[in-house]
Amino acid sequence: MGSREGSRMRVGGDLGFCPHLYASSPHGCQARILQTLGVPLTYQDLICYGGFAFRIQVHERLCPSAGHPRVGTMCVENSDRAIGWETRFFESFPWTSPKADRAAWEAEAHDAIRESVLRGVPVHYGSEEDGLIVGCSARGDEWECLHPYHADGRERFLYEEATGFAGGAWPWGIAVWTRPSPERLEERELLCAALRQAVTMAADEAAGDFRVGDAGYEHWLAWLHGLDQGSLELPEWGRMGNAWCFAVLIHCRGIAGSWLAEQAERVPAAAAAELRTAAGCWSESAAALAHGLQRPSDLAPGPGSGANWTTTMRAEQRRRLDRARAADAEAVAALDRALAWL
């Protein structure tokens, strides 16, 4: 249950997280809500069931949005099915038609937020990146939030006083978890769906302006080479995209390796052997990508870092991406063989 403090209500607990802990803010928020509900489904489970841990994707101009699970090749449908909760969704995307009665619609959202906080269930909100509403006023119209892009998720803040990804304008979407769903799939079905998605993504080439799978590696490597050849300009957002996608790749492959090794303990022997092969490929890939780095930005620095991004550093990044590309091919082939047994 939520608690009351004067005229305000709040959900207790350590629910914040930073982007380095949970690179996928939608899945991070879901994991924290599940934690509050006592459901033993982790962030690692969610990004693997959703396929995000197995995806490689870059924007054709290296926009950092490529590292988001709801952009380009979507990596949320199967993880949403894994959660097993029904939600009420209040959407207000800037590209959709205005609400017929905006005031009444907002009042309905405020009521739903207040009721959820009173039940002790954080409310999931987001625009470009997602956060949690963990407290509100008695009318539900003033929100106390946690967001990975506000103080790295360490401090609660009032939504209307925040800027950037964390708050300010009305969010694009608000998801209020209402009750458990009777339609949650079995773990074997979720696993098979995740493996099928991994195999499909590896064979895909594009999703709109995004390059996926082996084509993603090819485009990324060519972009880095083009910088050194002087055939490409280096916009700050391209530098940020390179830095973020490199960090996300290390994050995802490390989790994919450990998670698949765990899944191998729950399937028949023939499939287990293939899952262990894929797990080993991706664990070794993550280690090779991050070797000798305190953080990914040591090799792929973002804008404003003050670091000198040299041709030697880019050559080393290309070498590591080449190695990751080969590991992906071997891992995905093993997943394809595992599916035949499952």
Distances (CA, A) of 258 to 9, 182, 264: 39, 29, 10
Q: 152 and 10, same structural domain?
A: yes
Q: Is 73 within a domain?
A: no
What values do phi and psi take at 220, rounded to 5? -65, -45
Q: 199 and 175, same structural domain?
A: no
Helix boundaries (H) for 77-212? 77-83, 102-118, 187-203
Domain that holds residue 18: 3-40+85-180
Q: How far apart are alpha carbons 188 and 225 in whole angstroms?
A: 42
pLDDT the model gives residue 249 = 98
Domain boundary among 125, 153, 180: 180
Q: 298 and 154, same structural domain?
A: no
Q: What is the DSSP letter of 155?
A: S
Per-residue pLDDT for the chain (342 aa), expressed as one digit of tens each?
666 665 688 998 899 999 999 999 999 999 999 999 999 999 999 999 999 999 999 999 999 999 999 999 999 999 999 999 999 999 999 999 989 999 999 999 999 999 999 999 999 999 999 999 999 999 999 999 999 999 999 999 999 999 999 999 999 999 999 999 887 789 999 999 999 999 999 999 999 999 999 999 999 999 999 998 887 777 778 899 999 999 999 999 999 999 999 999 999 999 999 999 999 999 999 999 999 999 999 999 998 766 688 999 999 999 999 999 999 999 999 999 999 999
Q: 232 and 147, same structural domain?
A: no
Q: 193 and 161, same structural domain?
A: no
**How far out from the chain centre does Cα 223 lie?**
24
Q: How far apart are alpha carbons 177 and 77 in whole angstroms?
A: 16
Q: Is 80 within a domain?
A: no
pLDDT the model gives residue 151 = 97
Q: Is 74 within a domain?
A: no
Q: 105 and 243, same structural domain?
A: no
- Cβ neighbours, 10 Å, residue 265: 9
Q: Is 45 within a domain?
A: no
pLDDT the model gives residue 182 = 82
Total tally of structural domains belonging to the chain: 2
Q: Is 171 within a domain?
A: yes
Q: 200 and 169, same structural domain?
A: no
Q: Is 169 within a domain?
A: yes
Q: Is 56 within a domain?
A: no
Q: 143 and 237, same structural domain?
A: no
User: Is the pTM above the cut of 0.85?
Assistant: yes
Q: 253 and 133, same structural domain?
A: no
Domain boundary among 180, 205, 234: 180
Q: 283 and 199, same structural domain?
A: yes
Confirm if 165 and 172 have CB atoms less than 8 A apart.
Answer: no
Q: 212 and 173, same structural domain?
A: no
pLDDT the model gives residue 236 = 78
Tell me the CATH number at 243: 1.20.120
Q: Is 71 within a domain?
A: no
Q: 249 and 282, same structural domain?
A: yes
pLDDT the model gives residue 4 = 66
Domain boundary among 180, 201, 221: 180
Q: What is the DSSP letter of 98?
A: P
Structure tokens at 7: 């005229």
Give the burial class of 40: count Cβ atoms within 10 A of its Cβ; 0-12 exposed, 13-18 middle, 19 or more buried.
Answer: exposed
Pairing of strands 8-10, 3-5: antiparallel
pLDDT the model gives residue 164 = 94
Amino acid at 116: S
